[in-house]
Structure 1
Amino acid sequence: MATVSFDKKIVINNNESMDVLLKSLNKEIDKSDHKKIDVVSELERSSSLLRRSFSRSKT
């Protein structure tokens, strides 16, 4: 995502757009959809894959 979009102003032209924006901003986020990631095991797995990949390329 481009960081330029972080500072862009939102222009709302009508009440319907305002209602849609407010509804989405006030909606509760369902956190059950988010997958928990074990960062340490992912790091170990990726390091192992990289080691295997580079060891094959040397021979």
Structure 2
Amino acid sequence: MGKQCKSEADVVNFQDLPLEVHVIAAQLLSERFDPAAEPAKELAQEIRDAFIELYSPS
């Protein structure tokens, strides 16, 4: 099945997610961050995108 297009009303912004999600995302980032591997900004964006997808209406 193909991915459905989301309207602007369906788009979730990270800042709109509950505080608990921010805390979990920060903990995950601190656990997974390896300065020798990928840059922190890329990892943070991947984590942010994952939480947005989890909390977005399908």
TM over 0.5: no
Larger Rg: 1
**Higher helix proportion (structure 1 or 2):** 1
TM-score (norm 1): 0.31
TM-score, normalising length from structure 2? Answer: 0.32
